[in-house]
Chain A
Amino acid sequence: MSEYNFAYLDEQTKRMIRRSILKGLAIPGYQVPFASREMPMPYGWGTGGVQVSAATLTPDDTLKVIDQGADDTTNAISIRKFFQKTAGVNVTEKTAEASLIQTRHRIPEVTLREDQILVYQVPIPEPLRFLEPSEVETRKMHALEEYGLMHVKLYEDISKHGAIATSYAYPVRVEGRYVMDPSPIPKFDNPKMEMAAVQLFGAGREQRIYALPPYTEVISLDFEDYPFEASKADHACDLCGAENSYLDEVIIDDQGGRIFVCSDTDFCTSRQDQTKEEAA
C-alpha cells in the first residue's frame, strides 16, 4: 500500500481541480485559473497535465502516457511510473485499451471514444500572449471577444512567409466563441480535436485549466484565401507503411541518411504486428 493519498494529491486539492475542470467543460475553451500545486517534478515537465490526471483518475482506470507520440521516452516512462506508484492503476501502451491518456504534444492516431479522456500538457495557455504581453489586456480581449489581433498574427505570417507559418500550437476557435491554444500539437492534429472523448488541458506553471466536451466544434483560424491545411511530411512511414499518420524524421547515420517513422509508437507497432499476422 502506498504512503501517498490516491494519485498523490490530497482530496481537497482534487476537489478544487475538479471544480475547475467542470467549469472548463461548461465554458469550452475558456481558461480557468486554478491553484496549481507543487509537484515532485519541475515546472515545464508536465505538472499541469499530471495534476489534471491525478484529479481525474479512479482506481478502475487504465492509464496511457505518451510524449511526442511515444510511450517509451524518459518523460512518458517517469510519469507512468509516478502514477503506478501513487495510484496503483493499470497501465497500457495500447491507445484502444486506455481509459485516460496523458499526452505531451500529440493526439493519438487512433480515433478516441466517448468513454476515454485525453489530458494535454500545456506550456503557455494564452494564444494571444506573443502579441499582447499584458494579462489584464488579454483577459479583456477574451471576455469581449476581441480577436482581431489573432488574425494580425496570421496576416504577418503570410506577408513574411507567403503562407501561415505556424506549424504547431495552431490557434483554434471553439464553438464560435473562445480562441484557444491547443498546446504544441502539430497542426496536422488540429482536425482530430473534434472527437468523441473528453479533452482536458492543464498548464501547471501558468495555473490554468481548460477543456473541450465531446463533439465540440473546433475550427482552426485562417483566411478565406489562405485556408487551413493539416499538413505533414509527404512520405509514408518507413516501418509500417502508413500514409496518413504524423511522421518523425529520424537521422540514421553520419551521412545524413534519414527515415520517416510514425510518431505515434503504438499506432506504428500495431500496424506492424497486423502485417506480420497477415503474412503468417
Chain B
Amino acid sequence: MITVSNLTKNFVLHNQNSAVIPVMVKASLDVKAGECVALIGQSGAGKSTLMRMIYGNYLAQDGDIWIGQTNVVGASARDIISLRRETLGYVSQFLRVVPRVATRDVVAEPLMALGVDPSIARQRAENILSLLNIPKRLWNLSPTTFSGGEQQRVNIARGFVYEYPAILLDEPTASLDAVNRSVVLELIERAKSRGAAIVGIFHDESARAQVCDREIDVSAFAPQVN
C-alpha cells in the first residue's frame, strides 16, 4: 500500500550562502495493508522528515513514494490534494485549525470534504470524540483553548473519523494518560484489522510494541558524514 524507494532529500538554505544540507539518502520501506510500521531512530535522525515527505509536505530530490497507484514524488498539487482527501490521513503533532471553528466541525471536516451529509458527518465526529473522552460540553468550543492532551485527542479524532486506507501518525500517544492511550491504540488496531496501512512514530516503547508489526530505523538512511 505504501512503498518508498530510494528516497533522497536535501535542504538548500539560500539565505545562508546556499548551504546544502543532505538529510536523507536512498530511503526505502514497504507497508502492506493491515500492517503498522514504526519509524525509529534518534531525535533529528529524519523520522518526521520522512513522514512529511510521504505526505507530500516536503519535496524529494530523488526516489519514489507510492501510495496505492499514486506516486507522490512528482505528483501534481491536485493529485496530492485528492490523495489526502480520499486515501492518506495524517495525524501530526500539532493541531492547526481556523480559529473559531467548533471542535465537532473540526473533526467532521474530512467527511464533509468527501461530500458526506453534514449531519451524518457531525454524528460520526461526536461518536469518536466520545470515544476519546472529550466531554460533550467542549464539542461546540474551538479547540484552540484546550490543553495539549485534549488538542492531541481532537487531532486523532480528525485523523480517524474517516477510514483512510493509509495513515501516518506522528507521536499519537504523547501527552496522553493511560486511559486515552489505550483508546488510541485500540483505534489503531481497528484500523489495521480493516486493512489500513500505517506508518507511525512512537517514542513510547510499549505502545510501539503493542501495535507495530515492524520497526524501521531511519538512521540507515542518514547521509554519510565525511
- The reply, when asked whether chain A contacts chain B directly with Cβ atoms under 8 A, is no
- Give residues in A with beta carbon < 8 Å to B: none
